[in-house]
Amino acid sequence: MIWNEEYETMPRADLRALQLERLQETVERVYARVPYYRQKMEEAGVTPADIKGLDDLRRLPFTTKEDLRQNYPFGLFTVPLDRVVRVHASSGTTGKPTVVGYTKRDIRTWAELMSRTLAAAGVRRGDVVQNAYGYGLFTGGLGAHYGAENLGATVVPISGGQTKRQIQIMRDFGSTVLLSTPSYALNIADVMADLGVDPQKDLKLRVGVFGAEPWSENMREEIERRLGIKAIDIYGLSEVIGPGVAAECLEAQNGLHIFEDHFIPEIVDPTTLEPVADGEAGELVFTTITKEAFPVIRYRTKDICRLITEPCVCGRSFVRMPKITGRTDDMLIIRGVNVFPSQVEHVLMGIKGVEPHYQIVVDRQGTMDTMEVQVEVSEAVFSDEIKHLERLAQQIQRDIKDLLGVSCTVRLVEPKSIQRSEGKAKRVIDKRQL
Ligand code: DLL
Query: Given this model, what pLDDT does residue 414 score?
Result: 93
Query: Given this model, what pLDDT does residue 236 score?
Result: 98
At residue 51, what are phi and psi to the nearest 5 degrees? -85, 85
As a whole number of angstroms, the distance between CA 34 and CA 214 comes to: 33
As a whole number of angstroms, the distance between CA 164 and CA 168 comes to: 6
Query: Given this model, what pLDDT does residue 434 score?
Result: 62
Tell me the CA–centroid distance for residue 211 and ligand 1, in Å. 6
At residue 156, what are phi and psi to the nearest 5 degrees? -105, 105
What is the position in ligand 1's atom list of the atom closest to the CA of 236? 5
What is the position in ligand 1's atom list of the atom closest to the CA of 424? 1
Q: What is the pLDDT along the chain (434 residues), one digit of tens a residue?
A: 999 999 999 999 999 999 999 999 999 999 999 999 999 999 999 999 999 999 999 999 999 999 999 999 999 999 999 999 999 998 765 678 899 999 999 999 999 999 999 999 999 999 999 999 999 999 999 999 999 999 999 999 999 999 999 999 999 999 999 999 999 999 999 999 999 999 999 999 999 999 999 999 999 999 999 999 999 999 999 999 999 999 999 999 999 999 999 999 999 999 999 999 999 999 999 999 999 999 999 999 999 999 999 999 999 999 999 999 888 888 888 988 888 898 999 999 999 999 999 999 999 988 889 999 999 999 898 888 888 999 999 999 999 999 999 999 999 999 999 999 999 999 999 898 76
Residue 194: how many other CB atoms lie within 10 Å: 12
Tell me the CA–centroid distance for residue 301 and ligand 1, in Å. 10
CB 146 within 8 A of CB 111: yes
Ligand 1 pocket test: which of 217, 303, 330, 428 has the largest number of ligand atoms within 8 Å of its C-beta? 303
CB 1 within 8 A of CB 151: no
Query: Given this model, what pLDDT does residue 333 score?
Result: 87
Helix axes 163-173, 182-195, angle to 10 degrees: 80
| Domain annotation for the chain: domains and CATH numbers | 1-329 (3.40.50.12780), 337-433 (3.30.300.30)
- Whose CA is closest to 212, among 237, 239, 248? 237
At residue 363, what are phi and psi to the nearest 5 degrees? -145, 180
Query: Given this model, what pLDDT does residue 367 score?
Result: 84
User: 304 to each of 49, 170, 267, how far by Cα in Å?
Assistant: 32, 35, 9
- Where does ligand 1 bind, in terms of residues with CB under 6 Å? 90, 133, 139-140, 211-214, 233-238, 242-243, 301, 303, 324, 327
CB 129 within 8 A of CB 139: no
Q: Whose CA is nearest to atom 15 of ligand 1?
A: 212
As a whole number of angstroms, the distance between CA 65 and CA 93 comes to: 12
Tell me the CA–centroid distance for residue 176 and ligand 1, in Å. 23
Q: Whose CA is nearest to atom 28 of ligand 1?
A: 214
Tell me the CA–centroid distance for residue 141 and ligand 1, in Å. 12
Tell me the CA–centroid distance for residue 245 and ligand 1, in Å. 10
Tell me the CA–centroid distance for residue 84 and ligand 1, in Å. 23
At residue 339, what are phi and psi to the nearest 5 degrees? -130, 130
Query: Given this model, what pLDDT does residue 384 score?
Result: 86
Tell me the CA–centroid distance for residue 20 and ligand 1, in Å. 27
What is the position in ligand 1's atom list of the atom closest to the CA of 256? 26
Cα angle value 286/102/82 (rounded, 5°): 140
What is the position in ligand 1's atom list of the atom closest to the CA of 246? 26
Tell me the CA–centroid distance for residue 235 and ligand 1, in Å. 5
